[in-house]
Amino acid sequence: MMIKSPFSNKAERIAAFRDIDIYPVISSEFTNDRPVLDVLTAIAHGGAKVVQLREKNKTKAEVYELALKYREITSKYNMLLIINDHLDIALACDADGVHLGQDDLPMNAAKTICGEVFLGCSTHDPDEAEKAVLEGADYINIGPIYHTGTKKVACGVVGIEMLDKIVPGLEIPFSVMGGIKANCIPDLLAAGATRIAMVTEITQADDVCAKVKELRSLWQI
């Protein structure tokens, strides 16, 4: 029997997303050869409220099977599960959200079939952010804020200054991503970025659970 989301509808899911702090993103190539499910379990033990499954080098069938296992763990810990790129997999495993890039299924098309799955969109400048909002995104991600080795984007680093260009007047939640380390968090929080997506700072930590707890404590300072 497939495990269902602990959140019953899109409104509950978006409300829970508004309340997240760190936003761990797991890719199997950035776990120091540790099984992704072990990393996910450690993240859950650390108290994270959300996780994104991002696999760029697996078949769709492999991602689906992995997503089912992610759903089982995230439901146990009352966590949001967001799937990168694949809206069909998000629907099939009762994920809470899907994160789409600029070259993925267009947001307005995704909106017609997403059901109770909320939609996130990668944006790099004010024009992309405005387009995502107009086409129905439920949240946007802004980045890469700093230099990152986990993803190549044509725009390069956008810098923390991009928040001043995009965020004023933005009516949907936003997250930030790209090369973010623990020492960056105070500046990002001061700039109004409260949902902070991170990859290697978490997934390559010696003690993933302890790192998640350490990072989350920075919201309390």
pLDDT digits (tens, 9 = 90+) for 185-215: 999 999 999 999 999 999 999 999 999 999 9
Q: What pLDDT, on the 0 to 100 scale, is given for residue 100?
A: 98
Give Cα 163 to chain centroid, integer Å: 18
Are residues 124 and 158 in contact, defined by beta-carbon separation less than 8 angstroms? yes
Q: For residues 123 and 19, give the distance between their C-alpha atoms in angstroms, rounded to a whole number.
A: 21
Judged by DSSP in three states, 197 sits in strand
Q: Which CATH class is domain 10-220?
A: alpha beta
pLDDT at 149: 73
Residues of the chain with pLDDT under 50: none
Q: List 81's β-bridge partners, or say none.
A: 51
Tell me the backbone φ, ψ of residue 106, rounded to 5 degrees.
-55, 145
Q: Is the pTM of this model over 0.95?
A: yes
For 130-141, the pLDDT digits (tens) are: 999 999 999 999
Tokens of 38: 């072990």
pLDDT at residue number 27: 98
pLDDT score recorded for residue 148: 82
pLDDT at 151: 66
Domain ranges of the chain: 10-220
